[in-house]
């Protein structure tokens, strides 16, 4: 009986804050975020608004099944790394992103600007008005854009060339300071941190600034 009682009590104690080195996980009380839809006809954000509801009422679309990150500001962490402008990123990936960026900066790599959390509906499917209705990886704070001014997003671009059309960010010029390539230390460093590079994704887009667990 004593052995049984001990077997039941020890796991309970280990799950309690401050006991036996247990990790305390604090669940937010609410979920808040600013949101918009990207309209493909107007080529701009529309339907800007704010959302707030109890965290316990998170919907399936508000949580990324791959990373566990959510669209909630409460799940984001403000990162301050070197001289880079501080940015919000999902707390579940923040430590490995910080470590990768700190290492790259210490090695003298030109990490000039970083963007992550942007809770917009910028992915398909489309509604009848041309509004995108799906959350992107940026909406969950699990995607990172590095050196946007030097590494644009292109469409009509199965393979990079003159036919590719720049739609966001600055022109991609391989070899220029801050430009990213498959063999650049920044791309290698982010891959080592568990991210895939948007410059290598399949399909008609190439997103040279972009890193995420899936690359999209």
Chain segment 111-163, per-residue pLDDT in tens: 999 999 999 999 999 999 999 999 999 999 999 999 999 999 999 999 999 99
pLDDT in tens, 99-111: 999 999 999 999 9
Q: 26 pLDDT band (50/70/90 cuts)?
A: confident
Enumerate residues 6+ apart whose C-beta is below 8 A from 151: 169, 170, 172, 178, 179, 180, 199, 208, 209
Domain membership of residue 151 (yes or no) is: yes
pLDDT in tens, 144-156: 999 999 999 999 9
Domain membership of residue 60 (yes or no) is: yes
pLDDT in tens, 43-100: 999 999 999 999 999 999 999 999 999 999 999 999 999 999 999 999 999 999 999 9
Please tell me the pTM assigned to this model: 0.86
Q: 6 pLDDT band (50/70/90 cuts)?
A: very low
* Number of domains into which the chain is organized: 1
Structural domain that includes position 88? 29-212
Rounded average pLDDT over 10-16? 38
Domain membership of residue 12 (yes or no) is: no
Domain membership of residue 59 (yes or no) is: yes
Domain membership of residue 158 (yes or no) is: yes
Domain membership of residue 93 (yes or no) is: yes
Whole-number pLDDT of residue 92: 97
Domain membership of residue 18 (yes or no) is: no
Domain membership of residue 56 (yes or no) is: yes
| DSSP string of 39-64, one letter each residue | ETTTTEEEEEEEEEEEGGG--GGGB-
CATH at 38: 3.30.1380
Q: For residues 122 and 40, what is the distance between their CA atoms, to the nearest angstrom?
A: 9
Exposure class string for 178-201: b at 16+ Cβ within 10 A, else e: bbbeeebbbbebbeebebbbbbeb
């Amino acid at each position: 009986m004593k052995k049984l009682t001990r077997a039941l009590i020890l796991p309970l104690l280990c799950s309690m804050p401050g006991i036996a080195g247990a990790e305390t996980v604090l669940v937010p009380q609410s979920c808040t975020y600013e949101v918009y839809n990207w309209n493909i006809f107007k080529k701009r954000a529309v339907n800007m608004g704010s959302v707030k509801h109890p965290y316990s009422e998170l919907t399936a679309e508000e949580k990324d099944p791959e990373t566990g990150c959510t669209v909630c500001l409460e799940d984001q962490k403000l990162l301050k790394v070197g001289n880079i402008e501080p940015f919000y990123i999902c707390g579940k990936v923040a430590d490995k992103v910080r470590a990768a960026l700190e290492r790259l900066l210490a090695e003298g790599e030109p990490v000039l600007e970083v963007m992550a959390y942007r809770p917009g509906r910028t992915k398909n499917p489309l509604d009848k008005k041309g509004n995108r209705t799906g959350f992107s990886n940026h909406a969950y704070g699990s995607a990172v854009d590095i050196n946007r001014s030097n590494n644009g997003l292109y469409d009509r671009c199965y393979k990079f060339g003159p036919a590719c059309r720049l739609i966001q960010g600055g022109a991609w010029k391989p070899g220029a300071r801050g430009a990213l390539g498959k063999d650049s230390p920044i791309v290698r460093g982010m891959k080592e941190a568990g991210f895939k590079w948007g410059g290598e994704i399949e399909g008609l887009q190439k997103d040279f600034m972009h890193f995420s667990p899936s690359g999209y």
